[in-house]
């Protein structure tokens, strides 16, 4: 009887199919390729199809934008408006850091208080809900009246944008602190301050960092919008308004790309910090 | 007659603002000699864990006096340390840092603290795991950390609140043997709360049987098995007699379809 | 009675705090501090300002001006967002291709294109609609994408093993699992859409709630300005809390969304 059985010991599994370079890098290739394709169409469209006279005014090809970025960032040429791009960049960075710093100083202590006291929490809740739901931009006109045109108005808008995500996340983190762990450290004789230091803060740190990530996004948004309307002399938002009014679409997009890159870089950096700080957590809940 | 740990007429009623008051302990009395291993068994919700919290100083009783070595308990103190059922390890701290918690809170400097704790980590058999985070450990290892942490602050009394309830059966057996070894080595007075009669008999010098809520001491059963104890002892006739004696005391207290979860692994 | 108070304690405290807030505000500027009407207002003045504009029909008119572009832009964002997101989740290659670009766009402060959009589309409905669309489409894209990807293959197999056809799988598994994601996305999108309408109306407009806030601000008519700010806040809270409530009511099986 000739049966074609394969003895277990002689059976050799076929080697796993070699993964091609494409298969290994499919997401990168497709993602990068799509972005390149978009740029290519954008670049070539006017050359192939031509643009109406009106549209020409509003159009800048990627090469125009890169040229603008090069001359502004690398050659540090003067803008057609006022100053150099770096002066505006520094002004915006200053506003961003100041406003964000202020919101951290306010949000962290307040968040801890709200998280630890049910009564204070219940009383603040409607206000936080209302302010968090409303775009803070709505307060711009009143902020302008109170703080006057210029620096402090911009700071106030950035602050209002960033403070709520931080506050809400700090609060959630504190509230989420494990009762058992609080009892554990109490049983070892910890006082209220030590309970906060040993349990409440470490426990809420991942929440706070996640809040920080949100707050940074909101703060950048705040810088842009506040500089649109805030009446400061320097700032990237100021440049954008002026560039669009003088039909310098290349400069407008150049600044937009600067914002984009900065946002992505900061977000990635915070994400990095988040991962470092959550080494103690099992991997599956690391991303918040 | 003054005993080492004594509870005199402890009464404790919880009064949640919007719900019915619950009397957890009523006229609760206990006397324990120094160096003894005493277990408390009782039906679910009888207040045995609550009693440990009173002894630990986390919950003040309404009336009655709780004292250890002649000193009245008014709050947590370094003479008592607890091993918690759900381990209660700080997840963001490594094993070594968790063990150091008690000494850190006593203000012991970093150097000596580390050195002391190294010894206790060795005692519970965790050398080599100092820099692991709790989530990287098995349940049994976590409870070894909990034990080392409690011992590291050198308490006179070790309180254990169903410390092995969250472990699987084999790990539990190993941990019981380990606990006995460590108890011999460290010479502490141990108060051990458990659901398991067998565990209580195997480990203890005395077993206290509690009534159902409101909890009161029903009977003190002396365990006259010789020490050191070994695993074979668990199948000896005397062991089973003691188990039966405690079961007979306990079974009247177990309400059928009890209102609380008694399904501990 | 006591138990009722305890149960509603949170709510009562919140309501009390809000009433207290307006009361204190009113009292402070009714004698304690002299009110400078070019700088500050108080609830009673705001209320009468609001009633004045309400009776003249102005509130409703301005509201309608803002609502139209809001609806157009938002509905376009829902449709486009769900279609694009579904494609991305359904066809892996599409997801790979679009993900980086969309992420970059989502992370960047897109409000920044507002000046350009206004210049191209003008200050009317089209400009605002486009702005609102651009700002609110990304939450829908990303949440739909995440939702489709998260559909539990096991559930698909369960339905299939019981003899379900594609339609059953679609309606009994996919839609119920994706819908909560989309609605949660809607909550984010509302906030961004409101930013869009404000930027559009602050920047260049001749009517609308946002415009009125800016206009009365320029006029130093603080009471009227506060009235419109509060209208905006009420709308925003109604939207977000409304969605939250609907989420809880419609998907009680979802924990911690």
Count of all residues that appear for chain A in the document: 288
Q: Is residue A108 part of a domain?
A: yes
CATH (domain of A190): 1.10.3720.10
Answer for the pair C208, C66: CB distance below 8 angstroms, yes or no: yes
Mean pLDDT of chain A: 84
pLDDT at A264 over 50: yes
CATH (domain of B16): 3.40.50.300
A35 contacts in chain C (CB < 8 Å): 100-101
Q: Would you state the pLDDT for residue A2?
A: 42
Regarding whether C245 and C156 lie in a shared domain, the answer is: yes
Q: Which two tokens stand for residue A61?
A: 């090809």
Chain A nearest-CA residue for C99:
A31
Q: Is residue C193 part of a domain?
A: yes
H/E element holding B63? Answer: strand B63-68
Residue of A88, A142, A231, A241 to mutate, interface with C, max C Cβ within 10 Å: A142
Regarding whether C13 and C129 lie in a shared domain, the answer is: no
Q: How many domains does chain B have?
A: 1
Interchain contact B16–C (C-beta under 8 A): no
pLDDT at C90 over 90: no
pLDDT in tens, C41-63: 889 889 998 999 889 988 899 99
Chain A nearest-CA residue for B54:
A187
Regarding whether C79 and C63 lie in a shared domain, the answer is: yes
Q: Is residue A74 part of a domain?
A: no
Residue of A173, A189, A195 to mutate, interface with B, max B Cβ within 10 Å: A189
Q: Would you state the pLDDT for residue C2?
A: 65
Binned at pLDDT 50, 70 and 90, residue C20 comes out as: very high
> DSSP characters for A183-227?
HHHHHTT--HHHHIIIIIHHHHHHHHHHHHHHHHHHHHHHHHHHH
Domain holding C1, by residue range, is: 1-34
> DSSP characters for chain C?
-HHHHHHTHHHHHHHHHHHHHHHHHHHIIIIIS---TTT---HHHHHHHHHHHHHTTHHHHHHHHHHHHHHHHHHHHHHHHHHHHHHHHHSHHHHHHHHHHHHHHHHS-GGGGHHHHHHHH-SSHHHHHHHHHHHHHHHHHHHHHHHHHT--HHHHHHHHHTT--HHHHIIIIIHHHHHHHHHHHHHHHHHHHHHHHHHHHHHS-SSSHHHHHHHHHHTT-HHHHHHHHHHHHHHHHHHHHHHHHHHHHH-TT----
> CB atoms < 10 A from the CB of B259, how many?
9
Task: Please judge whether B92 and A280 are an interchain contact, meaning their C-beta atoms are less than 8 angstroms apart.
Answer: yes
Helix (H, G, I), strand (E, B) or coil at B206: strand
Regarding whether C152 and C27 lie in a shared domain, the answer is: no
Return the higher-pLDDT residue of A11 and A156. A156
Alpha carbons A273 and A261: distance in angstroms, whole number:
18
Task: Please judge whether A240 and C115 are an interchain contact, meaning their C-beta atoms are less than 8 angstroms apart.
Answer: yes
Helix (H, G, I), strand (E, B) or coil at A161: helix
pLDDT in tens, C121-166: 877 888 889 999 999 999 999 999 999 888 888 888 888 878 778 8
Task: Please judge whether C119 and A252 are an interchain contact, meaning their C-beta atoms are less than 8 angstroms apart.
Answer: no
pLDDT at A120 over 90: no
Domain holding B13, by residue range, is: 1-73+191-256
Q: From first to last of its 265 residues, what are the pLDDT tens digits of chain B?
A: 458 899 999 999 888 766 778 888 888 888 999 999 999 998 887 888 889 999 988 889 999 999 998 899 988 888 899 998 888 898 888 999 999 998 888 888 999 999 999 999 998 889 999 999 998 899 889 999 999 999 998 899 999 999 998 888 888 898 899 899 989 888 899 999 998 999 999 999 999 999 888 888 888 999 999 988 888 888 899 999 999 999 999 888 886 544 444 433 3
Binned at pLDDT 50, 70 and 90, residue C82 comes out as: very high
Regarding whether C170 and C53 lie in a shared domain, the answer is: yes
Q: Is residue B153 part of a domain?
A: no
Chain B nearest-CA residue for C3:
B18
Q: How many domains does chain A have?
A: 1
Q: Would you state the pLDDT for residue A80?
A: 79
Tell me how many degrees the CA angle C200-C205-C206 measures, rounded to the nearest 5: 150
CA distance readout (Å), A249 to A37, A88, A245: 21, 17, 9
Answer for the pair B100, B152: CB distance below 8 angstroms, yes or no: yes
Regarding whether C197 and C142 lie in a shared domain, the answer is: yes
Answer for the pair C228, C206: CB distance below 8 angstroms, yes or no: no
Interchain contact C252–A (C-beta under 8 A): no
Q: Which residues contact C113 (CB under 8 A, 6 or more apart)?
A: A252, A256, C131, C134
Mean pLDDT of chain C: 86
Helix (H, G, I), strand (E, B) or coil at B81: strand
CATH (domain of C68): 1.10.3720.10
Domain holding A263, by residue range, is: 88-285
> CB atoms < 10 A from the CB of C181, how many?
23
pLDDT at A4 over 50: no
Task: Please judge whether B102 and A282 are an interchain contact, meaning their C-beta atoms are less than 8 angstroms apart.
Answer: no
Q: Would you state the pLDDT for residue C218?
A: 87
Chain A nearest-CA residue for B91:
A280
Q: Would you state the pLDDT for residue A46?
A: 82
Q: Is residue B140 part of a domain?
A: no
Q: Is residue B55 part of a domain?
A: yes
Regarding whether C95 and C18 lie in a shared domain, the answer is: no
Regarding whether C17 and C74 lie in a shared domain, the answer is: no
pLDDT in tens, A39-71: 999 888 888 877 777 677 778 888 889 998 888
Q: Where are the alpha helices (DSSP H) in chain A?
A: 21-24, 26-49, 53-57, 62-69, 85-116, 118-133, 140-147, 151-175, 179-187, 192-195, 201-229, 236-245, 249-277
Regarding whether C59 and C2 lie in a shared domain, the answer is: no
Phi-psi region of C21 (alpha: psi -120 to 50; beta: other; left: phi over 0): alpha
Regarding whether C105 and C20 lie in a shared domain, the answer is: no
Task: Please judge whether C108 and A145 are an interchain contact, meaning their C-beta atoms are less than 8 angstroms apart.
Answer: no
Q: Which residues contact A5 (CB under 8 A, 6 or more apart)?
A: none
Return the higher-pLDDT residue of C245 and A230. C245
CA distance readout (Å), A88 to A239, B138, B224: 8, 56, 85
B203-239 CB burial, b ≥16 within 10 A, e <16:
bbbbbbbbbbbbbbbbeebebebeeebeeeebeeeeb
Interchain contact A186–B (C-beta under 8 A): yes
Alpha carbons B222 and B203: distance in angstroms, whole number:
12
Q: How many domains does chain C have?
A: 2
Phi-psi region of A50 (alpha: psi -120 to 50; beta: other; left: phi over 0): left
> CB atoms < 10 A from the CB of A82, how many?
13
Return the higher-pLDDT residue of C172 and B52. B52
Q: Would you state the pLDDT for residue B199?
A: 93
Task: Please judge whether B17 and C7 are an interchain contact, meaning their C-beta atoms are less than 8 angstroms apart.
Answer: no
Predicted ipTM?
0.85
Q: Is residue C257 part of a domain?
A: no
Q: Considering only residues 17 to 46 of chain B, which have any Cβ-Cβ distance to chain C shorter than 8 Å?
A: 17-18
pLDDT in tens, A71-118: 888 888 887 777 888 999 999 999 999 999 999 999 998 998 888 888
Q: Nearest by CB to A188, which of B53, B101, B133?
A: B101
Chain A nearest-CA residue for C203:
A229
pLDDT in tens, B90-134: 888 899 999 999 888 888 899 999 999 999 999 888 999 999 999
Regarding whether C75 and C11 lie in a shared domain, the answer is: no
Alpha carbons B123 and B125: distance in angstroms, whole number:
5
Q: Which two tokens stand for residue B159?
A: 């309180």
Regarding whether C1 and C107 lie in a shared domain, the answer is: no
Q: Which two tokens stand for residue C21?
A: 């807030």
Q: Is residue A81 part of a domain?
A: no
């Amino acid at each position: 009887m000739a049966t074609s059985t394969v003895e277990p010991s002689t059976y050799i599994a076929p080697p796993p199919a070699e993964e091609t370079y494409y298969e290994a890098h499919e997401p990168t290739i497709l993602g990068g390729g799509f972005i390149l394709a978009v740029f290519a169409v954008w670049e070539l469209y006017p050359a192939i199809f031509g643009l109406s006279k009106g549209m020409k005014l509003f159009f800048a090809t990627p090469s125009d934008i890169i040229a603008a970025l090069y001359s502004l960032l690398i050659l540090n040429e003067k803008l057609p408006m006022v100053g150099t791009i770096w002066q505006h960049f520094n002004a915006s960075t200053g506003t961003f850091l100041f406003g964000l710093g202020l919101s951290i100083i306010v949000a962290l202590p307040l968040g801890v208080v709200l998280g630890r006291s049910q009564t204070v929490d219940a009383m603040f809740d409607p206000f936080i809900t209302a302010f968090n739901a409303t775009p803070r931009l709505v307060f711009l006109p009143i902020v302008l009246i109170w703080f006057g045109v210029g620096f402090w108005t911009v700071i106030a808008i950035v602050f209002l944008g960033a403070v709520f995500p931080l506050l809400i996340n700090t609060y959630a983190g504190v509230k989420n602190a494990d009762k058992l762990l609080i009892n554990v450290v109490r049983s070892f004789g910890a006082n209220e301050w030590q309970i906060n230091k040993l349990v409440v803060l470490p426990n809420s740190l991942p929440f706070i960092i996640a809040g920080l990530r949100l707050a940074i996004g909101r703060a950048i948004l705040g810088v842009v919008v506040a500089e649109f309307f805030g009446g400061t002399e320097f700032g990237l938002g100021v440049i954008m308004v002026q560039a669009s009014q003088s039909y310098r679409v290349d400069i407008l997009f150049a600044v937009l790309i600067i914002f984009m890159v900065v946002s992505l870089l900061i977000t990635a950096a915070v994400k990095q910090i988040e991962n470092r700080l959550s080494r103690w957590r099992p991997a599956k809940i690391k991303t918040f | 007659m003054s005993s080492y740990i004594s509870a005199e007429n402890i009464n404790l009623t919880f009064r949640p603002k919007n719900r019915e008051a619950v009397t957890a302990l009523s006229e609760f009395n206990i006397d324990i000699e120094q160096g003894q291993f005493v277990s408390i068994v009782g039906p679910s919700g009888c207040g045995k864990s609550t009693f440990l919290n009173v002894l630990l100083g986390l919950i003040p009783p309404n009336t009655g006096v709780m004292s250890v070595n002649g000193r009245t308990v008014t709050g947590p103190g370094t003479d008592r340390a607890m091993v918690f059922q759900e381990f209660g390890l700080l997840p963001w701290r490594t094993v070594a840092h968790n063990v150091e918690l008690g000494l850190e809170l006593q203000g012991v400097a970093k150097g000596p603290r580390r050195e002391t704790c190294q010894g206790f980590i060795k005692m519970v058999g965790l050398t080599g795991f100092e820099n692991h985070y709790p989530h990287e450990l098995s349940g049994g290892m976590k409870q070894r950390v909990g034990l080392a942490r409690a011992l590291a602050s050198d308490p006179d009394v070790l309180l254990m609140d169903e410390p092995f309830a969250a472990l699987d059966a084999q790990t539990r057996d190993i941990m019981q043997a380990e606990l006995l070894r460590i108890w011999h080595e460290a010479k502490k007075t141990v108060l051990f709360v458990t659901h398991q009669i067998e565990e209580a008999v195997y480990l203890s010098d005395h077993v206290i049987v509690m009534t159902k809520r409101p909890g009161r001491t029903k009977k003190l059963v002396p365990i006259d098995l010789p020490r050191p104890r070994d695993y074979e002892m668990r199948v000896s006739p005397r062991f089973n007699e003691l188990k039966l004696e405690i079961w007979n005391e306990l079974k009247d207290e177990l309400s059928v379809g009890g209102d609380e979860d008694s399904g501990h692994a | 009675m006591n138990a009722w108070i305890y149960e509603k304690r949170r709510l009562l405290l919140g309501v009390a705090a809000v009433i207290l807030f307006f009361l204190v505000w009113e009292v402070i500027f009714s004698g304690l501090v002299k009110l400078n009407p070019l700088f500050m207002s108080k609830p009673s003045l705001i209320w009468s300002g609001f009633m004045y504009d309400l009776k003249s029909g102005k509130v409703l008119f301005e509201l309608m001006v803002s609502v139209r572009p809001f609806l157009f832009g938002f509905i376009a964002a829902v449709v486009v967002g769900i279609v694009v997101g579904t494609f991305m989740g359904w066809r892996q290659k599409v997801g790979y291709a679009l993900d980086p670009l969309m992420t970059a766009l989502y992370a960047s402060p897109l409000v920044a294109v507002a000046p350009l959009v206004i210049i191209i589309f003008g200050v009317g409905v089209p400009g605002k609609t486009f702005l609102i669309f651009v700002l609110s489409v990304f939450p829908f894209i990303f949440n739909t994408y995440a939702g489709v990807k998260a559909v539990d293959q096991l559930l698909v197999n369960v339905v299939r093993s019981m003899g379900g056809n594609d339609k059953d799988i679609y309606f009994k598994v996919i839609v119920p699992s994706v819908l909560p994601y989309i609605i949660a996305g809607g909550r984010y999108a509302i906030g961004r859409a409101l930013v869009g309408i404000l930027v559009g109306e602050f920047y260049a407009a001749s009517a609308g709630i946002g415009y009125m806030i800016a206009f009365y601000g320029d006029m130093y008519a603080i009471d009227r300005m506060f009235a419109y700010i509060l209208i905006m806040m009420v709308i925003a809270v109604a939207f977000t809390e409304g969605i939250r409530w609907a989420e809880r009511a419609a998907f009680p099986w979802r924990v911690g969304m």
